[in-house]
Structure 1
Amino acid sequence: MTSPSNASRRSLLLPGLLAATLAGCVTVPSATVLSPERQAVAEQQQAAREAELRPRTDWSLAGRIAVSNGSNGGSGRIDWTQDRDGYRVALSAPVTRQSWQLSVDGATGVARLEGLEGGPRTGSDAALLLREATGWDIPVTSLGDWVRGLRSPAAGGAVIQFGPDLRPARIAQGGWDIAYTWPEASLDHAFPSRIDARRGDARVRLIVDQWGEAGAQDSR
């Protein structure tokens, strides 16, 4: 696959209109040192949560995302729809009406990126396809697990640091460090409200406005 020109890449960048919203006013909780007893409880709760949520393969979210990789980056709206082993991720900048969509066929594993100059591109590796087309390093293969506060089976061994509420404050896996913010209204809330993922110069910040089942999003 040939790499796109710099002009083609620039055409995909979403202006940073939402960057201030994503960067400010939200404090990412720190991990805490738990007693051995509370650490054991936190690990048991996380294992039970993953066993409950991982089989749920039909879900969706809507929110705001900011992506950067050194000087290359942008922000906009994101809609993610998971359908078993396949998914569709759409990003858009409402003001400029720029948008693109990444989809992966669950049966074949083929990824398709649309919204590009020169027409759609396809490939067998969704993250590589996205990086070659946009310059963005977005861990889409594992992000569907991480965004729900789960370890990713595709990313190898993981280290979890828990907060005082015994929910994950950070997950380190596959070279990425993912920090979590959870809603304060309910300690039993199943999903995070914000994640901040970093690997080197690459950063992905996501605020979730709605979680729901595929095709039927619900505000949380």
Structure 2
Amino acid sequence: MADFGVSYFIKALSSVLTLILLVIIYSYLYNLENKGCACALTKDFSFIKGFTIFAIIYLLFSAMIPDEALYNNLGGNVVLINKFVDLIFVLVFIYYLYEVFKYTRYLVNEKCKCSVDSRREIIMIGSMIEFILIFVLFLLHIIIFVVASTFFNVVRSVNEGADEIREVIHDPISSIRKVPERLASSVREIRSDLGKTINEVGRTVKNTRGNNTYKLNV
């Protein structure tokens, strides 16, 4: 029960803080536009305002529809697509936070008097902290995935390569004939890996739901 409470609290707190930052950004931008602050209406203003609205809607929508609901109603393929969409959103969101920080710094450096507001400093500091945290976590996930995948593929390639080289030396004609078969085998392996990934996503969703239910009952 304690583990569930802590993990849920951290995730909920992170989402709430992000949403609060987005709401502050939108209210600040709306105020600048409403009072006609010309020095604040830069070329990046429309993108920042538009993506702020989109991010608020996306985060609220994602929070209301958990992965287990998608898996139970639409299957593992949809969950996998949803994860890919989440990845794209995170990449764009990292860029968005950078643009927000750069925008607020521009207002300070240009001494845009009509943009002076306590929210400006909150947005500047908040976007910088969020950018660093998300970027570092994303980078760590990528590094871990790449290192693990590379190590596995290198070991497998060395083993398979040694066998193929020996076969080419002893029987080159037979090796050439087996090229189409090897290509077909590679395609089958890709399909198999994709199927395993989808099944693994499904099992993870089911296990997460089962563990949460058990801990809640406890």
TM-score range, shorter chain: under 0.3
TM-score by length of 1: 0.24
Report 1 or 2 for greater relative contact order, CA contacts < 8 Å, sequence distance ≥ 6: 2
Structure whose alpha-carbon radius of gyration is higher: 2
TM-score by length of 2: 0.24
Tell me which protein shows more strand as a share of its residues: 1
